Structure 1
Amino acid sequence: MLPSGATAISAFLIAAFCILACSSPSVAQHTSASPKARIAPVEDDYFGTRVADPYRWMEAPGNAELQGWLKGQARYTNEVLGRIPARGELKARIHELNQSSSDVYAIVQADKRYFYFRADPGRSVPRIMVRDGIAAPERLIFDPETLPQESGHAEAGWFLPSRDGRYLAVGVYFGGAEEAGHLRVIDVDHASLLDDDLPRIWGGDEGSAGWLPDNRTFAYMQFPPLAPGQPQKERIFRSRALLHTLGRNLKGEGDIPVFGFGVDPAIDIPKEYMNYISVPPDSDYAIAVNWTVDVDLAGVFVAPLAQLATGRVHWIRVARADDQIQANANLAVHGRDLYVVSRKDAPRFRVLRVDLAAPDLHRAEIAIAQGGTVIENIAAAAEGLYILDLDGGPSRLRRLRWGESLAREIPLPFVGAIRAVSTHPGSSGALLRMRSRTHSNVVLRVDPDAGGSADTGWQAPANVDFTGIDEREVTVVGHDGTRIPLSVLVRKDVQLDGNHPTLIDSYGAYGIFGTAKPYFDPLLLAWLERGGVFAVAHPRGGGEFGEDWHRGGMQQTKLNTVFDTIACAQYLVDHRYTSAGKLALQGASAGGLVVGGAIAWRPDLFAAAIDHAGLSDALRAETELTGPVNIPEFGTTHTVEGFHALYAMSPYQHLRDGVAYPAVLLETGVNDPRVEAWQMAKMTARLQAASTSGRPVLLRVDFDTGHFAGTTEQTEQLLADEWSFLLWQFGDPKFQPVP
């Protein structure tokens, strides 16, 4: 059923049900059997609606039966994909293209030093580098590969330097288990690890710490050990921010909690919130936040830095969730002024200025009013506030000089996306990481006086040729008349004859967080040079046009995300880029709702689909490790409205027996803390049981990864497997499995 308040289904979508009933199954391309899953139905009653779940047993923690089934699926999938003759040739081409460029990202300045991640060809995982000035040579200070690998390969998810740049706090994790990370500290001068090793931190890229002015003490977030009787899914609950001093309490025992769950009886913090403290450079104040996966911060607090150093802090609340301070944007500080990005009464966002000495959001001044573009982020430099704008996908940049009232636009060298703006309140200018779909990544420095930008030379241009690739931006009319942007990459010499292998990617969730901004991927040449088409949909649910666009594809309106994607796919067929027999859809994480929903509504439109770590059983999502913090985005089954929204958007509940579904490659990492492996397991089992098309439904399982990331080798093999699977289904003779 559709949730109340959802957009009415057009005649086009109703006709889709007729197609399901009338279409005949595809010719069987795959006859050997994969391991079957045991069916043990469990029925739930949601406000009078009874919903059956045949594979609930897969959700049980410590499930030996599920582990055995996953291993069987992994063996079977590897055997099937291993029989595709041209798979090795394709992987070799992907590997060759992957040697063409490096990637510099997450730039942070401290004193005169610049720190960043560098992902290099031939390296398994990104390393951390430092420069002692813009023009100084770079130097390696941390390689995760040097850590013991007992529980899987090591990766670094985040870092933060001390104010003087002498030490670097780093979040590391193993085998993709971001929630079981360790905080390590690097002596930058000697490129060596200190003995401090703080467990149970978030090691993924949302982690952080806050250094105090003594350059030896920092605040960090830690999850407490589970108490007897507490379920495993609560191992990231009840987080607290603690103070740690280098050389003391080397494992964190005895560190003083200063913010978070149960720390201050006067501040009621739900157990699901993640609680961080940041200490802006050159500031006399500390800022604490309650964070979930919502677009809004659940809480913002400030306190004098002098109090934090003593461990006895009186936090003053600046904002609650209903103040709608954006979680994706920096909290920028200049002197005693705090700058925040808010969507309250401003769906394209505005910037507010708050006095830290007397923080009262109701008395905040409007520093940057809402305009025609979407304010994505802000960053404070010595000469002014930089404002990163989103113009439907491409980026624009402005700067508001301190003491002035008008923000002026800074010209950019090409049309593309700024991935990040890096500034320091004690230094003038900014560093930009910029790229487009056909322009490789570049690190630019904004001249604080002239206002223009120049290449730092930190990242060499990719050694690949995209001059023969055309980037097309088109608009698709959706089922309700909404105009949906669609980005298309195709060789300039390709004739639109309806016969090209085509892959469309879609996500559409979390607003600005999930915006499909232009990015450069040299590996796409391995697809495009074969005459393939690669497209990116921009459905409602993302943030391309601000919060209204986001709200148009979440909770009660979430099906719009699916329908917008279907409309984009249909456009590619109607305009003869491809045909249904050579069209595939891919999505990851929350994009699993899109992939699963699209093949449930229009199985006739796609030959194949790739579902990577996809959310599939939305009704059970809030029982996962990160489920509670996702309730603001998707809803909860504890309310009537929430149940109907989740039931409508949940692909798992809408697969039907006897339907000719496309071929589907589903993928999971067993250490995934964001979308647990049972989500993909249940979706796989249901598709394998329901489909009558004869097309393969395969589950690819990696036992040394989590949600994303992985080593270079893992990433290259995954892509080769995905594209080999698609070309097999599209009928490419080189990719037909041998007996």
Structure 2
Amino acid sequence: MLRRHLALALLTAMSAAARAVEYPVTDREEVVDTYQGPGGKEIEVTDPYRWLEADVRESDRVAAWVAQQQAVTEAYLADLPERQSFVDELTKLWNYERRSAPSRFGKPGASPERYAYSKNDGLQNQSVLYLGDSPQSEGRVLIDPNQWSEDGTIALAGTSTSYDGKLLAYQRSEAGSDWRVIRVLDVETGNDLDDELRWVKFGGVQWTPDGKGFYYSRYPEPEEGAAYQASALNRKLCYHQLGDPQEKDVVVYEDPEHPDWSAGLWLSEDGAWLVVAVSKGTDNQNRLYVRKADGGANDGGADWIPLVEDFENEFNPIASEGDRLYLLTDQDAPQRRVVTFDLARAGEVEFRDTLVEVVPESAATLESASLVGGVVFVQYLEDVAAVVRRYSPRGAPLGEVELPGVGSVYGFGGWQDATETFYTYTSYDAPPTTYRYDIASGESTLLFQPDVGVDFSKFTVRREFYESKDGTRVPIFLTHRKDLELNGNNPTLLYAYGGFTISITPGYSASRMAWVEHGGVLAVANLRGGGEYGEPWHEAGKLRNKQNVFDDFIAAAEWLVAEKITSPEHLAIQGGSNGGLLVGAVMTQRPDLFGACLPAVGVMDMLRFHTFTAGQFWRDEYGSSDDPAMIEYLLGYSPFHNVKPGVAYPPTLVTTADTDDRVVPMHSFKFAAALQHAQQTSEAGDNPLLIRIESRAGHGAGTPTKKLIEQAADLWAFLWEHVGP
């Protein structure tokens, strides 16, 4: 009897985190889709949670499911013993002043001379835009997005200044949505003009030199109730003349025959030339068209001159000098190079045959280039570390920009007649620090270095390499406290992305520093599919090579175990968006290898992703179920379709947001429902398989600081409960 009472007392003392979770019931329905496979083979696929694809704002049934799931998750997370400790650590670490690099406000020569930068005092939900009379002056508040909403969920999503510095076009985003609203601010009075442009996404604003209007891109107004789920089709490039209603805007470019293609517009600095780059998706390969700019409101009539009419190479306009157009390209250069083309000869000569090389391809990966103050700045990656080299406009080498260490650098933008430019340097152990670069002398001057309250001498950061399944050499960065004994039992967080030519470069994160300060190891792997080693690295991780990405991630986990840094029971994995797909895929392929999983805003249904919002742009990265040659391959790794009863999946906290219109939340809803059902219907243990659904938030951009801290505290507390010491 005494033994029984002791057992009951111990059970009562156990936290909710230690007990089996009772999940809400998720209805399953008989939905079967038939796909065409190779050779006309019909493939039937069941989809019992199709009803969870409905927009939570439009479906009471989905809204009720979300509320039930969130109630269970919140109760579980609130009872985690380390949660408050992480809240306190994160609040302290986030509470430091941070600034962006300044930028010239208007073209050099505009009067008065002014500079803009964004600043956050520490715990402000949104950074504030300031305007000062020098790169270092405090200046005055120009736009404070914190005044736009009580909960901080309306964000400043982009700005563009007129040439004379008197007007500022700015974009607002609400609740993390990709949709933007463009307004125009009179800088002197601080008042908005009447202009308001809607149904804008995936693009910026380019003013004409006369300041009478600007170019922008938009989509048709979606049907009622479909704004957060409808596919992004029929993009138009438009010119807006100040004072006109949006319906009078001139359509500069559209392609009704290819509604799923995307186009971006570039205006030469002198306003003489318009260039349009057309792509079929997120790959860099594009068509290229050019014409003289006829002056804003008249731009709807001139014919476009085709320069490139295939999708074999990337041709990205970066600058112009008169009729000389500078382009970044991978033609005959997988690692990219910089070339020029004489626009005055457009339509008269063969474009590819008359390109003049300025910066040749090198062994390093060319990330970006700019022409500022008569110098071509070229940013490279060498084993995932930034290198910046300078060249004359005709290609003479001018030396490197000396950087503080092995890290990332952003900036080197500006006007062609500028005498200065600005950049920001950061690494895992270096918070973003801004510098002014004098173009004539080649000297960098420190402008702002934040005090984050961290003694970085107590931490170590190192770059290692490991071999993947097929022998490919893959970089990985490790960050941890110097006093940590690497004994094979350290709580370790492995993060990666692996897709869309996106390079994951070193950078400071207050959130991740809380994990490291707490005693965890941070490991960041640079998988194939990214852009770390150029287009060949990307090609090796897309379409039918996607399994290479998962193999690279699994190999990283196995390397961490073999090096006695951690063990499977102490190893957590994390990734977002395409990285969420990565986590979902590897946890269904190797559930034995991980102690906890954090798939965030992931692409989990690989058969239906292309039917929602921006998903149709990803077909050149993933393929699609419409292609008989791809359907079986996609089914082979699609996280939602590979959840199986009887498998003990690691403790998992799926995260998404109700206003994510990039990777719509149905992916995470269906994946979480499948995980819970598999556990409930089999002898597969009682690991928590939860979903955290943020309200009034999107894919990540513009999320207020308060929400960021709360989310990070939930994630780290969940991990510490399951992979902690």
Q: TM-score, normalised by structure 2?
A: 0.90
After TM superposition, the structure 1 stretch with the greater mean CA deviation from structure 2, 359-368 or 27-36, is 27-36
Q: 8 Å contact 1:39–1:54 — kept in the other structure?
A: yes
Post-superposition CA distance 1:512-561 (Å, at most 9, x none):
xx211010113333211222101101111111111111111111010111
1:598-677 correspondence runs (5 A): 598-677=586-665
Q: 8 Å contact 1:688–1:697 — kept in the other structure?
A: yes
1:349 aligns with 2:349: no
Matched residue count: 688
Q: 8 Å contact 1:100–1:121 — kept in the other structure?
A: yes
The residue type paired with residue 687 of structure 2 is R
Post-superposition CA distance 1:599-625 (Å, at most 9, x none):
111111111011110111111111111
Q: 8 Å contact 2:486–2:564 — kept in the other structure?
A: yes
The aligned counterpart of 1:421 is 412
* C-alpha deviation, 1:407, in angstroms: 5.3
1:482-501 correspondence runs (5 A): 482-501=472-491
* C-alpha deviation, 1:426, in angstroms: 1.9
The residue type paired with residue 118 of structure 1 is K
CA distance in 2, matches of 1:571, 1:631: 32
The aligned counterpart of 2:3 is none
* C-alpha deviation, 1:144, in angstroms: 1.7
Aligned counterpart for 1:256 among listed residues 250, 262, 265: 250
The residue type paired with residue 156 of structure 1 is L
1:537 to 1:404, Cα distance in 2 relative to 1, 3 A: closer
The aligned counterpart of 2:319 is 332
The residue type paired with residue 558 of structure 2 is Q
The aligned counterpart of 1:586 is 574
After TM superposition, the structure 1 stretch with the greater mean CA deviation from structure 2, 578-587 or 417-426, is 417-426
The aligned counterpart of 2:261 is 273
Aligned counterpart for 1:693 among listed residues 664, 668, 685: 685
The aligned counterpart of 1:142 is 143
1:515 to 1:172, Cα distance in 2 relative to 1, 3 A: same
SS at match of 1:357: helix
SS at match of 2:614: coil
The residue type paired with residue 343 of structure 1 is D
* C-alpha deviation, 1:135, in angstroms: 4.3
The aligned counterpart of 1:722 is 715
1:162-311 correspondence runs (5 A): 162-179=162-179, 181-202=180-201, 206-226=202-222, 233-234=229-230, 236-249=232-245, 252-262=246-256, 268=257, 270-291=258-279, 293-296=281-284, 298-311=286-299
Aligned counterpart for 1:42 among listed residues 21, 24, 31: 31
Q: 8 Å contact 1:28–1:695 — kept in the other structure?
A: no
The residue type paired with residue 557 of structure 1 is N
Post-superposition CA distance 1:402-435 (Å, at most 9, x none):
2443353222232221133322112134211211
The residue type paired with residue 395 of structure 1 is A
* C-alpha deviation, 1:461, in angstroms: 4.3
Post-superposition CA distance 1:14-55 (Å, at most 9, x none):
xxxxxxxxxxxxx99432312121111422333233322221
CA distance in 2, matches of 1:242, 1:158: 18
The aligned counterpart of 1:124 is 125
CA distance in 1, matches of 2:146, 2:310: 40
1:467 aligns with 2:451: no
1:370 aligns with 2:370: no
Q: 8 Å contact 1:652–1:686 — kept in the other structure?
A: yes
1:399 aligns with 2:402: no
Structure 2 alignment gaps of length 5 or more: 1-15, 108-112
CA distance in 1, matches of 2:309, 2:620: 14
Q: 8 Å contact 1:672–1:706 — kept in the other structure?
A: yes
CA distance in 1, matches of 2:417, 2:137: 19
Post-superposition CA distance 1:569-598 (Å, at most 9, x none):
111111111111111000000012210111
The aligned counterpart of 1:6 is none
The residue type paired with residue 24 of structure 2 is P
CA distance in 1, matches of 2:296, 2:62: 47
CA distance in 2, matches of 1:611, 1:231: 25
SS at match of 1:443: strand
1:529 to 1:664, Cα distance in 2 relative to 1, 3 A: same
1:20-31 correspondence runs (5 A): 29-31=18-20
SS at match of 2:613: coil
CA distance in 2, matches of 1:292, 1:278: 18
* C-alpha deviation, 1:302, in angstroms: 2.2
The residue type paired with residue 87 of structure 1 is R
The residue type paired with residue 426 of structure 2 is R
Post-superposition CA distance 1:357-404 (Å, at most 9, x none):
223531211221111101110111122211111112111111111244
After TM superposition, the structure 1 stretch with the greater mean CA deviation from structure 2, 165-174 or 228-237, is 228-237
After TM superposition, the structure 1 stretch with the greater mean CA deviation from structure 2, 303-312 or 595-604, is 303-312
SS at match of 2:533: coil
1:166 to 1:299, Cα distance in 2 relative to 1, 3 A: farther
Q: 8 Å contact 1:421–1:433 — kept in the other structure?
A: no
CA distance in 2, matches of 1:649, 1:119: 41
Structure 1 alignment gaps of length 5 or more: 1-26, 263-267, 733-739
Post-superposition CA distance 1:57-115 (Å, at most 9, x none):
22245333222111111111111111123312210110111013414158465224333
Q: TM-score, normalised by structure 1?
A: 0.89
Q: 8 Å contact 2:336–2:361 — kept in the other structure?
A: yes
SS at match of 1:415: coil
Q: 8 Å contact 2:318–2:371 — kept in the other structure?
A: no
* C-alpha deviation, 1:694, in angstroms: 0.8
1:102-113 correspondence runs (5 A): 102-104=98-100, 107=103, 109-111=105-107, 112-113=113-114
Q: 8 Å contact 1:223–1:235 — kept in the other structure?
A: no
Aligned counterpart for 2:545 among listed residues 557, 573, 576: 557
CA distance in 1, matches of 2:326, 2:227: 39
The aligned counterpart of 2:435 is 444
Instruction: Give % identity.
Output: 28
* C-alpha deviation, 1:177, in angstroms: 1.6
Q: 8 Å contact 1:29–1:694 — kept in the other structure?
A: no
The residue type paired with residue 323 of structure 2 is R
After TM superposition, the structure 1 stretch with the greater mean CA deviation from structure 2, 620-629 or 237-246, is 237-246
SS at match of 2:410: strand
* C-alpha deviation, 1:160, in angstroms: 1.0
Cα root mean square deviation, aligned: 2.4
